[in-house]
Structure formats: C-alpha cells, structure tokens
Amino acid sequence: MTIHAYQETYLSNAQGALGDAFDHAINTCHIPGSDFIKLFAASSVSRRMENGEPAYLSGKSGIEIASDIVLETTGKLLEAEPQERFERSREYWIGWAVCYYQWFSARSYSQIFKILSYEDLTNMYPTLHEADITKFADIADEKIREHFTDTNLKRIRSCYGLTQAELAKRSGVALRSIQMYEQRNKDINKACAETVYRLSKVLSCSMESLIEK
C-alpha cells in the first residue's frame, strides 16, 4: 500500500485544478507544454500539491495555480483572459492524469517529468484519454520503474519520512540488513516473514508492498 500525502476525497479536485492549469497555461497563454512542465516541476506549487496543502488541492482554481507557477518561476504575470471550453483538451488531460499518477505513486512531480516528457504524454493521449485512469498509471509506473531502481523498501521508507536508522530502531530489524535490502545485496523476498512483518508494521503498508516483483 502506497502512502499518500492526502486523502482520496481531495483527488478529483486536485486533478481538475491541475488539468485546468495546464490547459490555461498552454492553450490560452501559449506557453509551450515542455516549458510549462519545467516551470511547474521547479515551482513550490508542485511540492505543495505533493504535500497535500489544502489551498492547492481545493482552494485555488487552475487559472490561479497556473498564475502562481509562472509568477514564482519567471516573475511574470499571466494576463490572458480565461476561455470557456466545452470539452476537455489534451493539455487538460495531461495535467489531470499526471496529478492522479503522482497521488497514486507518491513520486515527486520532478521525478515523474524527468522520465515522462511533454512529448511522451501527448503521444499517450490518443490511446489513453478515454481509458480508465488506472491504465495510464500502470503504463507510467512501468516506464518510471525502468529508470528508477529503488527497492520498494527504500521508496516506501522515503515516502514515510524515516531514515534507515530510524526504521531499524522502530522495527528491531538490524540497520545493516535494511541497508543491504535497499542496496539489493540481500533479497528481501527471501527474508523471514517476521522481518518483513516488522518493517511493514512500522511503514504502515502491507507485507506484499515490500516484496520485489
């Protein structure tokens, strides 16, 4: 079980807001998509959304979010008037889908966009925009896991905010063992059930979440 920064009840609002932000910035303000992705990932707005700050999950509109991103990163104001749209654009879908995947995976936006470029996302749109969002999440996760080789233990521990030493102290599992599991010098799949149970209990996840597939 992945540890999420905020409850699922806020997810739909967050997705809609980020979708609107992408649509407004790219289609109305004519900021190139690849540039806006970089601005967003570099801004504090992305980190505030990752951390589940209410203002950025349900308090601000997408247009306000886009304005905050551009003002913070470039010092410029967005002056284009919002345009009424009756259909969700490709750019809206990109923001909407990536917001879901960030919540689903607990990865940072900067990490996600390091692997999934704007071009990659636009290429995924035709076949995935009408599919269930979990299909996009699965494909995105597969692509990103190919580049980031962190073990499940390291990824979940990092998301939980514990150091290796803190996890060792709380779980009773030797620090050296934790280090070796995370470095793949020992196979956690072959660890005794008691060890995996202790780690999972501290990290509030299932034992299966720590197993490497």
The domain spans of the chain are 8-147, 152-210
Task: Label residue 124 by pLDDT band (50, 70, 90).
Answer: very high
Q: What is the pLDDT of residue 3?
A: 60
- Mean pLDDT for 8-27 is 96
Task: Label residue 118 by pLDDT band (50, 70, 90).
Answer: very high
DSSP at 80: P
Structure tokens given for 133: 């969002």
% pLDDT > 70, the chain:
99
Q: Which of 101, 103, 81 is nearest to 30 (CA)?
A: 81
Q: Helix 175-182 and helix 164-171: axis angle, to 10°?
A: 130
Asked if 38 and 88 count as a contact pair (C-beta separation under 8 A), the reply is no
Query: Which CATH architecture describes the domain 152-210?
Result: Orthogonal Bundle (1.10)
Distances (CA, A) of 203 to 35, 68, 162: 37, 34, 9
Which tens digits make up the pLDDT trace of 69-108?
999 999 999 988 888 777 899 999 999 999 999 998 878 8
Asked if 65 and 56 count as a contact pair (C-beta separation under 8 A), the reply is yes
Residue 150 has pLDDT above 60, yes or no: yes
| pTM score over 0.75 | no
Residues sharing a CB contact under 8 Å with residue 153, sequence separation 6 or more, in sequence order: 178, 181, 182, 188, 199, 210
